[in-house]
């Protein structure tokens, strides 16, 4: 069984790239295009990890992370902010909202998988198990 990754991203080009990279590396991708839809899909699927854009319609990424982390079901699920917000304090703001990590855009296709896998220690996507 492939691990599920929820990608909450409103930009179609970014969604396409992230989905392509994840699928190519053995992950099942669940797509949400706004914050509210992201919360609904997270509750429905309980993914192994959530990749979360900060600039989203309906609810921004900080609000989404805060809402998810209030639910005990998401205590152990890493939420990674993936954003072009690279101003001083943005990383801290994401962590305060409940994010586990922070990846700056534009993403680097050569390092992206390793960038978020560090938040899933011991996980091997192609085997679908923890090592």
What is the token pair recorded at 91? Answer: 């990383």
Rounded to an integer, what distance in angstroms lies between the CA atom of residue 17 and that of residue 112? 10
Q: In which band, very low, low, confident or very high, does the pLDDT at 38 lie, cut at 50, 70 and 90?
A: very high
Rounded to an integer, what distance in angstroms lies between the CA atom of residue 18 and that of residue 112? 9
Q: In which band, very low, low, confident or very high, does the pLDDT at 24 lie, cut at 50, 70 and 90?
A: very high
Q: At residue 89, does pLDDT exceed 90? A: no
Higher pLDDT pick, 130 / 86: 86
Single out the residue of 113, 95, 112, 96 nearest to residue 104, CA to CA.
Answer: 112
Q: At residue 126, does pLDDT exceed 70? A: no
Given a contact cutoff of 8 angstroms between Cβ atoms, the answer to whether 10 and 53 are in contact is yes
Rounded to an integer, what distance in angstroms lies between the CA atom of residue 102 and that of residue 96? 12
Q: In which band, very low, low, confident or very high, does the pLDDT at 61 lie, cut at 50, 70 and 90?
A: very high
Please state the domain extents for the chain: 4-130
Q: Give the pLDDT score at 88.
A: 79
Q: Which CATH architecture has domain 4-130?
A: 3-Layer(aba) Sandwich (3.40)
Higher pLDDT pick, 126 / 105: 105
């Amino acid at each position: 069984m492939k691990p599920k990754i929820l990608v909450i991203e409103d930009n179609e080009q970014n969604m396409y790239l992230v989905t392509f990279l994840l699928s190519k590396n053995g992950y099942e991708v669940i797509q949400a295009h706004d914050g509210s839809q992201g919360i609904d899909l997270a509750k429905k699927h309980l993914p192994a990890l959530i990749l979360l854009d900060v600039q989203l319609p309906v609810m921004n990424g900080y609000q989404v992370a805060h809402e998810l982390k209030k639910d005990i079901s998401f205590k152990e699920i890493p939420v990674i902010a993936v954003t072009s917000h690279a101003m001083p304090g943005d990383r801290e703001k994401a962590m305060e909202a409940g994010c586990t990590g922070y990846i700056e855009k534009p993403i680097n296709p050569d390092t992206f998988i390793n960038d978020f896998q560090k938040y899933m220690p011991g996980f091997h996507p192609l085997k679908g198990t923890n090592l």
